Structure 1
């Protein structure tokens, strides 16, 4: 009897503590496990433990509800919107590397066995268009294709994960300067799209609506393909900018400790490290402003109607603003590196000056020591010329 009463007290105290931070459903689960370890099922009924728990539970529930009423509920701003995920085909942009060798991609035996490659335009060699061959087409009314850009980005339209993975395995053999897999996974961008027969092609509620009804062949017409290429071009530029942002963040991360050291009067770098950082930031700026065709609009000089779709993608992904911010951050990083490099140069010049001063002092001391320590030389002056003697 004493054992049962002791068990009763233990369980009641556990119930009171547990109800202060949980609900009645969790209490039942927690205590059921504890009860099985403490005493057999028959003993539980004999000492009336279940009745005691039922009496304790309502009191603790009332206290818990009163505490919740007194606490002010915080409602996030986004709760005002009723988000409903869009289920449908997606556009997926994946940055794999700095660049692709498109000449070898177009000849890849594993790709051309399933897909038909084609250049987007005769005058442009910066992108390839792949569509499934006739025997591999599942639904002729849906879009299923992908674009490969020379700057290391591939954009899929309406392709499932398994099929995308197979294509990526083929493309990995033709990359140059492949990106880290973690970075690639973080910077993948997606957008749902849908085909319609009226209206204009636009982005509405984060969904791309493509009007294919105005073309005789629908989404298979050449101009419709060029529309999707233009949007893919802008989306590829967005993920490329995301890669640059990630690279800059990694390269600029050590600068926080550097500025902290400078505030304490310490220059933490050596000349070699400063030159290395200068080269990294200069290479990144070169890639952004001079070495990327995804931001080049030469393709649209004679195709103003297509440039609209390219600019629509850039505006949606805020690429111009991100580029401006990226360049301003690069300016700050380069200015800081130049400041440290100037300090190192000044310190090096100051060291040389002190070395020269010390050498001069040593030379003066040596001359003084030589003058004071040496004995005077005896000089004898002869009044007459020495006479020559005959042998």
Structure 2
């Protein structure tokens, strides 16, 4: 038996509560931040996360397309990027081992709990890829301003645009912090050693923890650059105010001389 899995980053977030209330299929397990469905009559599995990721298992192209049209009404800020990840699960009844490889996992048998763990890790991997793309863009733009500072000794950015840039960085940072729970192990692995082993091996395979640490480090670099840009802007604003004060004093002196 083989099950094909695909995770897709569709939007920045989903309204899971509203989706669960209006989606016709009976939920297998979930919370306010995620929803897992086992549609057993069609041998399909579906996993939604509130950070905008959908994971399909055993969905053909038509079924995926139909669902993606449906889910858009519960999405906020669509992601215009091709962020997908494919994986598969294979069964080998003769083997009693769990084998985790780059693009597939081999198990003695498959059940909904195993599928949920595999789909969870693939969903986390795609979400991290999305945040990696965002931080790469921030680092590239901050590098441009640093080069300006190196070549000309100043930054050609207005106070308004700098504040917008700071807001963008903080928004991404807050979004990542809000979704820190994606690194948490699900409750079902705590009392099941087989699921715990599978979960740990998948996290290692997808470099989940390593990638998150790298993401946090790169965001820290961007924040340090922001501090530098803010200091430069404050110096520029202070210099401008000093010149304004000097001009006003000069005008006042001139007016006093003419009045005498």
TM > 0.5 between the two? yes
> Within the alignment, does 1:156 sit opposite 2:45 as a pair?
no
Q: C-alpha separation between the residues in 2 aligned to 1:175 and 1:365? A: 64
Matched, 1:274 2:162: yes
What's the TM-score, normalizing by structure 2? Answer: 0.86
> Does the C-alpha gap of structure 1 residues 312 and 117 become closer, same or farther in structure 2, counting only changes over 3 Å?
farther
Partner residue in 1 for 2:141: 254
Deviation at 1:202, TM superposition (A): 2.8
Q: Which residue of structure 2 lines up, in the alignment, with residue 91 of structure 1?
A: 5
In structure 1, what is the Cα distance between the partners aligned to 2:160 and 2:188? Answer: 44
Alignment map for 1:25-104 (pairs within 5 Å) = 89-104=3-18
2:85 aligned with 1:189: yes
The alpha carbon displacement at 1:296 in A equals: 3.1
CA distance in 2, matches of 1:298, 1:90: 22
Higher RCO (CA-CA < 8 Å; seq separation 6+): 2
1:236 counterpart = 2:123: yes
Are residue 200 (structure 1) and residue 97 (structure 2) matched?
A: yes
Match of 1:120 in 2: 29
CA distance in 2, matches of 1:156, 1:237: 14
Provide the residue aligned with 1:318 in structure 2: 207
Q: Distance in 1 between matches of 2:74 and 2:136?
A: 27
Provide, for residues 230-271 of structure 1, a one-character-per-residue CA deviation record: whole Å limited to 9, x for no partner: 222121111001111112233443334322221222321111
Asked which structure has the greater CA Rg, the reply is 1
| 1:281 shift after superposition | 0.8
Displacement after TM superposition at 1:353 (Å): 1.6
CA spacing shift, 1:346–1:211, aligned 2, 3 Å = same
Change (3 A) 1:131 1:269: same
Aligned to 1:179: 79
Rate the CA distance shift 1:227–1:255 in 2: closer, same or farther, 3 A.
same
Deviations 1:94-132 (A, max 9, x none): 111222223333344xx63xxx421425xx443323233
Q: 2:37 aligns with which of 102, 105, 130?
A: 130
Q: Which runs of 5+ in 1 are unaligned?
A: 1-86, 138-142, 213-218, 372-391
Cα pair distance change 1:359/1:128, threshold 3 Å: closer
CA distance, structure 2, for counterparts of residue 241 and residue 126 of structure 1: 17
- Shift in CA distance, 146/317, structure 1 to aligned 2, threshold 3 Å: same
**Which is strand-richer, 1 or 2?**
2
Q: Encode CA deviations 1:328-356: one digit per residue, 9 max, x unaligned.
A: 22122222222122111111111212222
Task: Find the partner of 2:236 among 347, 365, 376.
Answer: 347
Q: Report the 3-state secondary structure (helix = DSSP H, G, I; strand = E; otherwise coil) of the residue aligned with 2:87.
A: strand
C-alpha distance in structure 2 between counterparts of 1:271 and 1:152, whole Å = 32
In 1, Cα distance between equivalents of 2:185 and 2:3: 28
Report the Cα distance in structure 2 between the residues aligned to 1:229 and 1:296, rounded to whole angstroms.
Answer: 14
Q: C-alpha separation between the residues in 2 aligned to 1:99 and 1:366?
A: 62
TM-score (norm 1): 0.59
| Equivalent residue number for residue 67 of structure 2 | 167
Aligned Cα root-mean-square deviation (Å): 2.6
Contact in 2 for aligned 1:236/1:294 (Cα 8 Å): no
CA distance in 2, matches of 1:300, 1:274: 45
Mean alpha-carbon deviation: is it higher for 340-349 or for 97-106?
97-106
Number of equivalences: 257
